Amino acid sequence: MTSKTDVFAFGVVLAELVTGQRALTRDKKEPNKLKSLILVINTVFRHQNSEAALEAEIDPNLRGNYPMEQVYKMAELSKNCFSEEAAERPEMREIVQTLSQILTPSIEWQASLRETSQVFTGLFNGKW
């Protein structure tokens, strides 16, 4: 176990937050096989239009109440944490910096909404 192993695991958690999916699930097309969330995220970023591909995978419970640009950055960070080469994975301090950079525009986005977003209001008030 190394800090890079922790980074990998953290990437899985980020992917779970973005998609609302578990790290491993039964494949609907082939019930005898498991589908990896890592493969889902990596496939999203191989698409020509990765933003549209990601949007199809975002947790439906969010009901469109999110800033897409920030969710994309979070998914991209998750993908970087999955790198097969541990040396290519970001350091935790880089992850914290990136998440901080994602948070500020997310707060501004939520404040700009005319309607209150229950998803982000609960999150920012520590009620999620």
Residue 119's domain is classified under what CATH number? 1.10.510.10
pLDDT, residue 63, reads: 79
- pTM of the entire predicted model: 0.79
| Separation of alpha carbons 7 and 87, rounded Å | 11
| Identity of residue 81 | C
Task: Count structural domains, the chain.
Answer: 1
**87 confidence band (pLDDT: 50, 70, 90):** very high
**116 confidence band (pLDDT: 50, 70, 90):** low
Q: Which residue segment(s) compose the domain that 63 sits in?
A: 3-124
Residue 28 main-chain phi, psi, to 5 deg: -65, -30
Contacts of 45 (CB under 8 A, 6+ apart): 53, 75, 76, 79
State whether the Cα torsion 36-41-43-44 is positive or negative.
positive
12-64: pLDDT as tens digits: 999 999 999 999 888 777 778 888 999 999 999 999 999 999 999 999 998 78
pLDDT, residue 90, reads: 96
Helix (H, G, I), strand (E, B), or coil: what is residue 84?
coil
